[in-house]
Structure 1
Amino acid sequence: MTLLVLTATVQAVYYVLTGIWPILSIDTFQRVTGPKTDLWLVKMIGALFAVIGLTIGVAVLYADIDRTVAVLAISCAVAVIIVDVWYVSRRVISRVYLLDALAEVFLLIGWSLGLFLAG
């Protein structure tokens, strides 16, 4: 398994699991991440993350990790880092989101090295 395939697989699983979590159990999600006001929006974002993860996972399954999938995966990771750090620094969301930002940084490193090694 190449680093690119490993990174894509990890991101796919991470996004699907964290995406469905608030849908399946909003109470446990809020216990970890803090209270939310618009639960429908939390669930919508979760659904979108699950779909992104599913899309990356299908690319892995069919050995078709092309530029489009890489752009989707990398841009999502960058967006999550920006949102997590921005809103934690303004004390809008819990500091636990910095762990998510860190996970996204590792995904970016994996994508960068994986794409570099793939040529």
Structure 2
Amino acid sequence: MEIVEEPKPERADPLTSGLAVAQGAFYLATGVWPIVHLRSFEAVTGPKLEGWLVKTVGALIAVVGGTLLAAGLRRRVSPELKLLATGSAASLAAVDVIYSPQRISPVYLLDAVAEGVLIAGWCVAGARTWKRQGVQPPPPQYTSPEDAAGFPT
């Protein structure tokens, strides 16, 4: 049996790890809040019909936050974690914006602003990484089956 070593991930730059720490701490705090004290959470965000559902969503947000926080502190923010961070922020912002005028408290629009700042931060970090790596040339284009097979022309 052959032992295969996984390559060690690159250390994240300060912006990327800082974003992961900031978003992780924010999500961990806001996710745990309704679990620890639902009454104060509802005092700020408005009454909720299903306390168990609020706590479930809070637990999921806290798990995402804890994961981002741990990765940011270790400076090991993988592309998959960047996708999780950006996708989570975009999903929460969409819910905030879509439902705030109709069904939920307008205070959620403040959360939408915070999520927008996080999304912008991840976009800036991604652009900086892309720029630092440089533009890769496109793969060679084949014009005939002979070229693709490697036959001399």
TM-score tier after normalising by the smaller chain length: over 0.9
Q: Deviations over 1:2-49 (max 9, x none)?
A: 221211111000000000000111000000000001000000100000
1:64 corresponds to 2:76? yes
1:111 aligns with 2:122: yes
Distance 2:103 2:115 in 1: 20
Between 1 and 2, higher relative CO (CA 8 Å, sep ≥ 6) is seen in: 1
Identity %: 41
If the length of structure 2 is used for normalisation, what is the TM-score?
0.74
Counterpart of 2:55, as a letter, is K
Structure 2 segments unaligned to the other structure (5+ residues): 1-12, 131-153
| C-alpha deviation, 1:68, in angstroms | 0.5
> Deviations 1:36-76 (Å, cap 9, x if unpaired)?
01000000100000000011112112221011000100000
Q: Partner amino acid for 1:39?
A: G
In our comparison, the structure showing a higher alpha carbon Rg is 2
* CA root-mean-square deviation: 1.1
2:90 touches 2:115 (CA, 8 Å); kept in 1?
A: yes
Which structure shows the bigger proportion of residues in helix conformation? 1
Check conservation: 2:23, 2:118, Cα contact below 8 A.
yes
Q: TM-score, normalised to structure 1's length? A: 0.95
User: Partner of 1:25 in structure 2?
Assistant: 37
| 8 Å CA contact 1:2, 1:114 repeated in 2 | no
Gaps of 5+ in 1: none
SS of the residue aligned with 2:60? helix
Alignment of 1:31-110 (within 5 A): 31-89=43-101, 91-110=102-121
**Aligned length, in residue pairs:** 118
4+ aligned runs moved over 3 Å, structure 1: none
